[in-house]
């Protein structure tokens, strides 16, 4: 509860925007939003590098810049649909958003610092501090060197053409397209090149697929495919069940995957018993969601369960029901929207 | 749950801003956010008027304009602290925010339309549609004519200097300073002058102080006084309990009331057993919150319960524990923050 009232969900009717307005993008903030004085702030690059760097925001802004629309999703999206429900931020399906991020490619900065031959990982440290698992910490996550060097990885200082809002990581955040959001560390203060794997809390304790607490588990990394629809008709305030009147209805939505472009979206009006192909819109960029639509006409009044699912070019799909895991991560089961259709 | 993940809370560390950044202001949206085409949109003024009006956004923008910082709070703020918990959006304390709203005074528009002698109320109708209490409706609320004519009541088209974001009522919303947020109808499409009291759902069923469902109950109107503090130290991720180290600590917060200026804020470090006066900052405007601070130094490590409470010029205060009501409205009991202080 204390988490649900702090963290902001993306209202699904906002799937109608190609680029999500900043105030509608999801937010998952582990600790408090740090208040950062941009004038005094600097980014440090250190560790296994030939030359340590200390850069102001203006210096970062004067470097080569890139802008890209990127879909970000929380690794815990869908968590609240698991049973028993893992204890953390209780997302249903609304932990997603697509913004246009502007920044300087991380690869160029690493090249300038001169990564040592024995470098293995790159560690990203935020200014946000808190206690988790009984341990006081800054939020810190690492990437393997090869992942950190990928051309799409940005140090972003702008969102949708404006300086980052405080809650999205002002003055600087990492953006790792294709990966779940925990990777895109906000409020960056330090980037450290390591000669061994990082073993901090957010890497080895949190964000792991586990059945029991004492197993190591596989790390959560890229986003599994997911498709979401704009719930049609109008909502009931409390239940969010949808009301429609009999007649043609075009369902619209978006789909994405961190493993490869979305190649197919299917929809169902009978709870997933039968599926039809949706029409896919253009892929606006490799790392942003793809629109789709599906024409549906209910034959008679009654209750329907609308569903959609995506398949990516790597052959990953979405299960009808996701397998449970302790942290409630990477649940990409099909969306189900209950709709009651009445006579017009 | 479905409401908590849609509606956005104000993270209390954002009390540090005089004016809340748009993406951190609270949001309570009954139905879906309407997608409005500003070019085709017009505001209608009709009912008991001498001359019906139909105004475009540009026409509204060319009228006399006013800008004011206004604190808005949801009538359901604090609801989730009641027991048994009323079934609706489960706010703890984060349904608040202070934005600078720009618009044209409603009074001038009513004058131009020429309010009839038998006029009693002014009804505001939004574009947002849904089902509530089993009834399909637009969101609609009314004000008594005298309240609608008050000089501080605005038809706002800008928030913090920018066109309203979709989720805050684009292209036009009502702003009624001093009143709980349900009064400030978003996505306005029609203003109708009535010769009798409006009896719609949001006026006579919802937003009433009731003990049992079949009593009429008193309507919820102006905001009771409330003071909130920035939780000091750092949070535990899951419990949001605060961790501090021994040493001096200045608590900072904001206080407001819809009944009159805040004249006193008190703080407590022992759960409300003893209280001390906080220092009040200037009152930036009649309708915006007022800052305060209180110097505290815990004498020894241990657990503390930090509290604060405000008193307004009308003599209203905050109870240690709020009386229960069916809708969970207007709960302004004192804020309690659990803090664990450790040796430095």
Q: Which residues lie below 8 Å from residue A157, measured CB to CB, with a gap of 6+?
A: A57, A60, A61, A102, A103, A163, A164, A171, A172
> Do A8 and B4 count as a contact with CB atoms less than 8 A apart?
no
Measured distance CA(B143)–CA(B185) in Å, rounded: 11
> Do B23 and A165 count as a contact with CB atoms less than 8 A apart?
yes
**Contact call for residues A342 and A246 (beta carbons, < 8 A):** yes
**Contact call for residues B165 and B145 (beta carbons, < 8 A):** no
Closest chain B C-alpha to A115 CA, distance in angstroms:
34
- pLDDT exceeds 80 at position B1: no
**Contact call for residues B292 and B279 (beta carbons, < 8 A):** yes
Tens of pLDDT along B205-253? 999 999 999 999 999 999 999 999 999 999 999 889 999 999 999 999 9
Partner residue facing A1 (CB), from B35, B90, B237 = B90
Pairing of strands B234-235, B226-229: unpaired
Report the pLDDT averaged over residues A186-213.
96
Query: Is the bond preceding B327 in cis, omega lying within 30 degrees of 0?
Result: no
> Do A234 and B129 count as a contact with CB atoms less than 8 A apart?
yes
User: Dihedral of the CA atoms A207, B238, B71, A33 (nearest 10)?
Assistant: -50
pLDDT of residue A89: 85
The candidate with the shortest Cα–Cα distance to A209, out of A335, A322, A334, is A322
Q: What letter does residue B342 receive in the DSSP assignment?
A: E
- pLDDT exceeds 80 at position A37: yes
Report the pLDDT averaged over residues A237-263.
96
**Contact call for residues B53 and B112 (beta carbons, < 8 A):** yes
- pLDDT exceeds 80 at position B311: yes
* Residue limits of CATH 2.60.40.650 in chain A: 226-342
pLDDT band at A68 (very low <50, low <70, confident <90, very high): very high
Residues of B in contact with A240 (CB under 8 A): 2-3, 6
- pLDDT exceeds 80 at position A5: no
- Per CATH, the homologous superfamily of domain A12-219 is Oxidoreductase, molybdopterin-binding domain (3.90.420.10)
pLDDT band at A117 (very low <50, low <70, confident <90, very high): very high
User: Dihedral of the CA atoms B317, B322, B324, B330 (nearest 10)?
Assistant: 50
CB pairs under 8 A between A and B: 141
For residue A198 the two structure tokens come to 């990082």
Pairing of strands A135-144, A121-132: antiparallel
* Residue limits of CATH 3.90.420.10 in chain B: 12-219
Report the pLDDT averaged over residues B303-326.
96
Report the pLDDT averaged over residues A66-91.
91
Query: Which range, of A251-255, B159-163, B324-328, averages the lowest pLDDT?
Result: B324-328
pTM of this prediction? 0.95
pLDDT of residue A82: 87
H/E element holding B218? strand B218-219
Calculate what percentage of chain B has a pLDDT beyond 90. 91
pLDDT band at A47 (very low <50, low <70, confident <90, very high): very high
Tens of pLDDT along B70-123? 999 999 999 988 888 888 888 889 999 999 999 999 999 999 999 999 999 999
pLDDT band at A4 (very low <50, low <70, confident <90, very high): confident
pLDDT of residue B82: 87
pLDDT of residue B310: 98
Higher pLDDT, A85 or A266: A266
Tens of pLDDT along A151-199? 999 999 999 999 999 999 999 999 999 999 999 999 999 999 999 999 9
Measured distance CA(B71)–CA(B286) in Å, rounded: 10
pLDDT of residue B277: 98
Report the pLDDT averaged over residues B273-278.
98
pLDDT of residue B90: 87
**Contact call for residues A200 and A207 (beta carbons, < 8 A):** no
- pLDDT exceeds 80 at position B179: yes
Report the pLDDT averaged over residues A90-108.
96
Q: What angle do CA A78, A84, A85 make, to 5 degrees?
A: 40
Tens of pLDDT along B2-28? 777 788 999 999 999 999 999 999 999
Residues of A in contact with B336 (CB under 8 A): none
Calculate what percentage of chain B has a pLDDT beyond 70. 100
pLDDT band at A88 (very low <50, low <70, confident <90, very high): confident
- pLDDT exceeds 90 at position A106: yes
Residues of B in contact with A129 (CB under 8 A): 234
- pLDDT exceeds 80 at position A52: yes
The CATH number of the structural domain formed by A226-342 is: 2.60.40.650
Among left, alpha and beta (phi > 0; psi -120 to 50; other), residue A169 is left
> Do A167 and B23 count as a contact with CB atoms less than 8 A apart?
yes
Substitution target in A131, A162, A229 with the highest count of B β-carbons within 10 Å is: A131
Calculate what percentage of chain A has a pLDDT beyond 90. 91
pLDDT of residue A103: 98
Measured distance CA(B266)–CA(B226) in Å, rounded: 11
Closest chain B C-alpha to A25 CA, distance in angstroms:
9
pLDDT of residue B66: 98
Closest chain B C-alpha to A267 CA, distance in angstroms:
22
């Amino acid at each position: 509860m204390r988490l649900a009232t702090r963290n902001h969900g993306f209202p699904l009717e906002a799937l109608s925007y190609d680029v999500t307005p900043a105030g509608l993008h999801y937010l998952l903030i582990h600790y408090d939003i740090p208040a950062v004085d941009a004038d005094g702030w600097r980014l440090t690059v250190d560790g296994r590098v030939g030359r340590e760097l200390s850069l102001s925001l203006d210096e970062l802004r004067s470097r080569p810049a890139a802008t890209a629309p990127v879909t970000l999703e929380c690794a815990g999206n869908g968590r609240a649909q698991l049973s028993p429900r893992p204890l953390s931020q209780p997302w249903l399906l609304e932990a997603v958003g697509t913004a246009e991020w502007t920044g300087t490619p991380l690869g160029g900065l690493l090249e300038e610092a001169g990564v040592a031959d024995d470098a293995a990982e790159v560690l990203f440290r935020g200014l946000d501090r808190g206690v988790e698992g009984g341990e006081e910490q800054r939020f810190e996550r690492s990437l393997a060197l090869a992942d950190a060097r990928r051309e799409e990885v940005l140090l972003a200082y702008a969102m949708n053409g404006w300086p980052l809002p405080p809650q999205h990581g002002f003055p600087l955040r990492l953006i790792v397209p294709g990966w779940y959001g925990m990777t895109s560390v906000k409020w960056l203060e330090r980037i450290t090149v390591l000669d061994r794997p990082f073993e901090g809390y957010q890497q080895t304790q949190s964000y792991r697929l586990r059945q029991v607490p004492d197993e190591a588990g596989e790390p959560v990394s890229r986003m599994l495919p997911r498709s979401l629809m704009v719930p049609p008709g109008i909502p009931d305030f409390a239940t969010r069940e949808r009301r429609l009147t009999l007649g043609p209805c075009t369902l619209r939505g978006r789909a994405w995957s961190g493993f490869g472009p979305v190649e197919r979206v299917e929809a169902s009006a009978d709870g997933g018993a039968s599926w039809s192909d949706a029409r896919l819109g253009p892929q606006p960029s490799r790392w942003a969601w793809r629109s789709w639509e599906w024409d549906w006409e209910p034959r008679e009044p009654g209750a329907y369960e609308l569903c959609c699912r995506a398949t990516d070019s790597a052959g990953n799909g979405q299960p009808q029901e996701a397998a449970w895991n302790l942290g409630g991560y990477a649940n990409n089961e099909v969306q189900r929207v209950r709709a009651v259709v009445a006579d017009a």
